[in-house]
């Protein structure tokens, strides 16, 4: 997929496995660009169809703007058009999002990913204006990131379809966990020729083959950092109609996903999951440090060892 | 109060009326610095004891970094030490907060105000590390901003007192609405000589004299933009022990506060309240435009007219 | 399926389509037993595998105990063992639940369905004790009803599996909407011979064939009142491995399900959905009155007419 | 205050200290009526102005209907009109509430206390109809119980005032913790002669003298079981305009209130608080057993001992 295909005139939706790329850090919290490029190579070798940098799994909420820019420049330069690169432009409201968008556009990304407003008490009319404002000021495809656990509002299916129809949104990454609503969007799209290229991507690690079965176009799995080959196999199997193989792969990945809990309840699920992904990449030799950004609580040696056991059980170590 | 008094060696807590300063905008969403300095003069003339810029009422969630810097520079330059200026350094987590803190320190503010982490799913241990990280990197007094409606966690009283005792926090702005917990912090402070200078400020517009009665040191009222004289009278009356006068003033202000609802339910409470404060300042001739930042829904003429009626009823127009 | 098969020594899990049976009312809010038996006949003719009376869709939260007893007696007597009848024993905590359980046991039901405690601020240890207490006092299979939208807590997968292993729970009706967690329970069961008969039922109307694909045993669809034949076809197709037919049926039912919104936002989703189900049954000639219990807001004529259009579009009128 | 005064024609609002009466249980979870009458005597001797049975503090959510009836009969018979007795009629929706109301009326209570609907997803129009339905079917004064932590909705001030004006509600027990909204109701009442007798009672243990200062009529403190004399002194001091004495009493009670946390985090706040109140009554020799109803987790000996230390520190043991 090229930038042209991602443009408003594109005829094809973004599809496949597009992992949210972890952001390797040095022990003093700088972006570890050598590890980052190795991680990108690992993902590309794993067969992913695109990369999503600066998402929640990338610790975007923890990265200063200077770090964000390094990530954007490093990844777009290294990928060099092999696959599309989407950039999270995560901030509280439209004007702040637009500042991030300008940096991302300069870095040469292929699409932008924005959530609904957060921190402020928002409202459906304001969510709509938020996305319209962002889209009007950027020339790139805009993907809505539906993430109620972080922004404390849910994007309505009717709003998504309307914004798709108006050319505001190129797609949605649905991390809401509401599979019934996801299905409503997929069926709502089916009936309208004008939004055939609207991409519906699930953010779930655990219900990927069923989302694809429902008609979703792809998946943005945090666990895809750890096992991109697994998600790529899953997607290929589903694309080939071999649903049983897809299911078997998904069930293996579900058991692997249990590693996200190694730090609980000593820390929050965020610290535990992001720390476990990085510990896994560290144990697999892909990144140099399992460091997560402050103020996340780091996994201790015992917890990291338990991550290793999950990797072994899944044949990854 | 001088910067010196606000330093870790200070002997006096921050006290009095410290309104969160609205951020006047031009119709194309630039900071209207002429209106901003008039607003500062209006507040100082009203008898306030400090200024809190870049808080929620200041639309901090909507302001790009460049706007934030203009606000900081404009206000610190104009105030020139007449009263302490606190700066909100509102962002998702510590490293991003520290970027804002550096700009605020350079502008010459007297203290910093930070919330718990948001967007990320946080945890008490991470909240503690967040505040410790920020305080360790900045030389200014740090105030915790307890705002569950925005950040979706509540700061525990024990944590606040521990961070006070460790010199991490200089005070708290409590916008949680939990007056029982607020009282627990006030009484917890009373017993400890080492944290006598820890400032407890209420963010409520509606229970100010009772918070002062309980032992709070001051108030950070959004409505104080519209009627600083009223809150200053309230605080003076309370300080003089004339609680009945304080109550009468509070009750008048409570009725004035109803203006925050003029836009409901056509928009969210945020848009309605911030729009109403600005409409009131516009109608009173203090700022040039009632503009609020996108994607907030603007008040229409009818709603602005209703704001005017509240002002008239309260003797402000 | 007989009571014996549902007993702790049973070898087969409860499977298939087990709709939560609407409770027809007369205009003065008495149980309309004639309509109720017609509804039961309609469901049995539709090919359902069991009946769940006194669930949320049955308006159990609105029915006095005397109404609950009439429903239990009417349905068990009329069904006379043709299919298993499960009874909701919905109340705040264990001792109150046990009172309902005694009435249900006397009526001759085949299993009981209970939620976690609600109204009270509960805790995982208390949820566990709640289910253990109920199971210890009743001789019938006990199903956990996972319904966070009503009880404001989520049943953990580990707890469910432990209670299954200890013979406390015979199954779960998952209305949490968390398909990833549902899948974790299904896979957790697969590895343990001792809980092979633990039933996993989805409460979703919209993701039934995918839940069955994941390994769920059945579905408890509110919409199954309106179109039992559709859900029975869906389940049979899935059981026969004809997943494309199951998906087509599910997609038709998803479009029919839109009728739940006809009353919004004039009323809550509860009133609108339960009112729409009853309006559909009324329009289809199965029940005599579309009455819902106070204080639900009744659908008006226009809204009922719109329900009719959904039925027509789905070939049900 | 007599029943007549509480009738719709009453001229005086309910005022003073009206504790929610704990429900003593035997070790096998029966109502311990001997302990209950001793507790009533203890409260009357403490100088309370009324009794509220079957509230949240009474473990109403845990009591079967037969227990509820025993409590009603025991207390009304023992009080014999010395003070008004209000009865909680806590259940999910109106028809179920009315069943409890009938039993309470027969027992001879002086007023009823009902929450908004719960378990069901409710709506403001349904909350209004709920209270109107209950009031229309009972001849007793009806008090709204505003308890968002249990019912997950907040009663709006405008609705309360409208229902007061229409004769539906005789008062409100505000346990929402939203003191600004409470104040709005108090001021809204002040302007209307027709609702002068509408009682505003705070359910907070910690902000009583400030609520009275704002104009509240009384308090319904769970901690009042443990120390009724303290709350009675607080109320008398406030009534006499000796606000400093009232504050000193409140501050002592706030420190005593810390006992509610002795069981945390091993159990929920409900179990811990209700267990601590009962442990205190047990240690003070007023009730025979500290038993709380299943599935609450009981305090262990160490936790009970810590309750004793709080009592000693407050001069109650």
pLDDT in tens, D228-259: 999 999 999 999 999 999 999 999 999 999 99
Q: Does C57 show up as a binding residue in the annotation?
A: yes
Average pLDDT over chain C, rounded to an integer? 95
CB atoms within 10 A of CB B102: 12
Q: To the nearest whole angstrom, how far is the Cα of C178 from the nearest Cα of chain A?
A: 6
Could B254 and D206 be called an inter-chain contact, meaning their C-beta atoms sit closer than 8 Å? no
Q: What percent of chain D has pLDDT over 90?
A: 94
> Average of pLDDT values for A17-43?
98
Residues of chain D contacting B254 with CB distance shorter than 8 Å: 180, 183-184, 187
- In angstroms, what separates the C-alpha of C180 from chain A's closest C-alpha? 5
Mean pLDDT of C237-244: 98
Residue C164: φ, ψ to 5°: -65, -45
Could you tell me if B261 lies within 8 Å of chain A, comparing CB atoms? Answer: no
Q: What is the pLDDT of residue C191?
A: 85
Q: State the best of D103, D119, D177, D222 to mutate against chain C, taking most chain C CBs within 10 Å.
A: D119
Q: Which chains touch D (3 or more CB pairs under 8 A)?
A: B, C
**Cα–Cα distance between A85 and A2 in angstroms, integer?**
10
Asked if A107 and A72 touch (Cβ cutoff 8 Å), the reply is yes
The answer to whether D298 touches D275, Cβ cutoff 8 Å, is yes
Report the C-alpha gap between D103 and D2 in whole angstroms. 20
Q: Does D220 belong to an annotated binding site?
A: yes
pLDDT in tens, A196-245: 999 999 999 999 999 999 999 999 999 999 999 999 999 999 999 999 99
Choose the closest CB to A178 out of C177, C205, C247.
C177
Contacts of A110 (CB under 8 A, 6+ apart): A1, A3, A6, A50, A84, A85, A86, A140, A141
Residue D5, pLDDT above cutoff 70? no
Q: Chain B residue closest to A148 (CA)?
A: B119
What count of Cα atoms within 13 Å lies in the side-chain half-sphere of residue C279?
25
Chain D residues with CB under 8 Å of B183 CB are: 206-207, 251, 254
How much is the pLDDT for C273? 98
Of C61, C117, C268, the CB nearest to D123: C268
Q: Give phi and psi for D286, each to the nearest 5.
A: -90, -40
A193-232 residues touching B, CB cutoff 8 A: none
Contact D99 C64 (CB under 8 A): yes
Smallest CA–CA distance, residue D151 to chain C, in Å, is 6
Q: Say what the pLDDT of residue A5 is.
A: 33
pLDDT of residue D128: 98
Nearest to D185 by CA among D201, D207, D167, D209: D201
* For residues C58-82, average pLDDT: 98
Is there a contact between B95 and A269 if contact means CB atoms under 8 Å apart? no
Please, which pLDDT band fits residue C97 given cuts at 50, 70 and 90?
very high
Distance CA B144, CA B185 (A): 13
Q: What is the mean pLDDT of residues C295-315?
A: 97
Q: How confident is the model at residue C12 (pLDDT cuts 50, 70, 90)?
A: low
Q: Do C180 and A247 touch (CB under 8 A)?
A: no
The predicted pLDDT at position D1 comes to 26
Spatial strand order in the sheet of C171-174: C16-17, C218-219, C199-202, C171-174, C142-146, C111-115, C85-88, C51-53
Contacts of C177 in chain A (CB under 8 A): 177-180
Residue D138 has pLDDT above 80, yes or no: yes
- List the single residue in A94, A99, A295 with the smallest CB-CB distance to B294: A94
Indicate the pLDDT class of residue C35, thresholds 50, 70 and 90.
very high
| First vs last C-alpha separation in chain C | 33
pLDDT for A307 = 98
Tell whether C103 lies on the interface with D, counting CB pairs under 8 A. no
Other CB atoms within 10 A of residue C180 CB: 16
Q: Is the dihedral of CA C276, C282, C283, C286 positive or negative?
A: positive
Model confidence at A191, pLDDT cuts 50, 70, 90, reads confident
User: What is the pLDDT at residue D12?
Assistant: 67
Neighbours of chain C (3+ CB pairs under 8 A): A, D
Q: Is the pLDDT of residue C165 over 60?
A: yes
A96 Cβ under 8 Å from any chain B Cβ: yes
Contact with chain A for residue C115, Cβ under 8 A = no
Catalytic residue among B69, B143, B145, B231: B145
Mean pLDDT of chain A: 95
pTM: 0.95
Query: Cα(D162)–Cα(D174) distance, rounded to whole angstroms?
Result: 16
Q: What residue ranges in A21-75 does DSSP mark as E strands?
A: 51-53
Is there a contact between C150 and D121 if contact means CB atoms under 8 Å apart? yes
Q: Which residues of B128-157 are buried (b: 16+ CB within 10 A; e: fewer)?
A: bbbbbbbbeebebbbbbbbbeebbbbbbbb
Known active-site residue B231: no
| Helix axis angle, B65-79 to A94-107, nearest 10° | 130
The alpha carbon of residue A23 is apart from the nearest alpha carbon of chain B, in Å, by 15
Is the predicted pLDDT of residue D3 greater than 90, yes or no?
A: no
Pairwise pLDDT comparison (D93 vs B139), residue with the higher score: D93
E strands, A101-244, are 111-115, 142-146, 171-174, 199-202, 218-219
| C214: nearest CB among A178, A205, A210 | A210
Which residue's structure tokens are 């006068």?
B245
Q: Which CATH superfamily is C16-242 part of?
A: Aldolase class I (3.20.20.70)
CB atoms within 10 A of CB C233: 20
Match 């009455």 to its residue by tokens.
C291
Whether ipTM > 0.90 holds is yes
Mean pLDDT, rounded, for C190-210: 95
Band (C1; pLDDT cuts 50, 70, 90):
very low
All residues at 6 or more sequence positions from A205 whose CB lies less than 8 Å from its CB, including other chains: A221, A222, A223, A224, A253, A254, A257, C180
Residues of A in contact with B267 (CB under 8 A): 123, 125-126
User: Quick one: pLDDT at residue C193?
Assistant: 85
Residues 6+ apart with CB under 8 A from B304: B279, B282, B283, B290
pLDDT-based confidence at C250, cuts 50/70/90?
Answer: very high
Closest residue in C to D93 (Cα–Cα):
C62
- CB < 8 Å to B268, chain A: 120-123, 126
Q: Which residues of chain B have pLDDT under 50?
A: 1-11
């Amino acid at each position: 997929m090229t930038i042209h295909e991602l443009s408003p005139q594109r005829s094809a939706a973004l599809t496949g496995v597009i992992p949210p790329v972890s952001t390797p850090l040095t022990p003093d919290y700088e972006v570890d660009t050598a590890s980052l490029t190795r991680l990108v190579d690992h993902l590309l070798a794993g067969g992913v169809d695109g990369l999503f940098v600066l998402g929640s799994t990338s610790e975007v909420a923890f990265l200063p703007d200077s770090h964000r820019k390094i990530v954007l420049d490093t990844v777009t330069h290294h990928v060099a058009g092999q696959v599309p690169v989407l950039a999270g432009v995560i901030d509280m409201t439209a004007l702040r999002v637009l500042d991030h968008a300008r940096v991302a556009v300069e870095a040469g990304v292929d699409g932008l990913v924005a959530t609904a407003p957060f921190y402020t008490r928002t409202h459906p009319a304001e969510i709509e204006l938020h996305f319209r404002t962002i889209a009007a000021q950027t020339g790139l495809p805009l993907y809505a990131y539906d993430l109620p656990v972080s922004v404390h509002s849910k994007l309505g299916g009717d709003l998504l379809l309307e914004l798709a129809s108006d050319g505001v949104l190129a797609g949605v990454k649905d991390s809401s966990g509401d599979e019934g609503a996801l299905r409503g969007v997929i069926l709502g799209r089916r009936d309208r020729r004008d939004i055939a290229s609207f991409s519906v991507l699930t953010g779930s690690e655990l219900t990927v083959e069923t989302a694809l079965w429902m008609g979703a176009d792809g998946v943005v799995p945090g666990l895809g950092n750890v096992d991109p080959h697994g998600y790529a196999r899953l997607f290929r199997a589903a694309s080939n109609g071999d649903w049983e193989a897809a299911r078997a792969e998904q069930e293996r990945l579900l058991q692997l996903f249990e590693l996200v809990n190694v730090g609980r309840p000593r820390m929050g699920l965020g610290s535990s999951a992001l720390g476990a992904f990085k510990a896994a990449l560290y144990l697999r030799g892909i990144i140099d440090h399992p460091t997560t950004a402050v103020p996340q609580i780091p996994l201790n040696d015992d917890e990291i060892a338990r991550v290793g056991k999950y990797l072994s059980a899944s044949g990854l170590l």
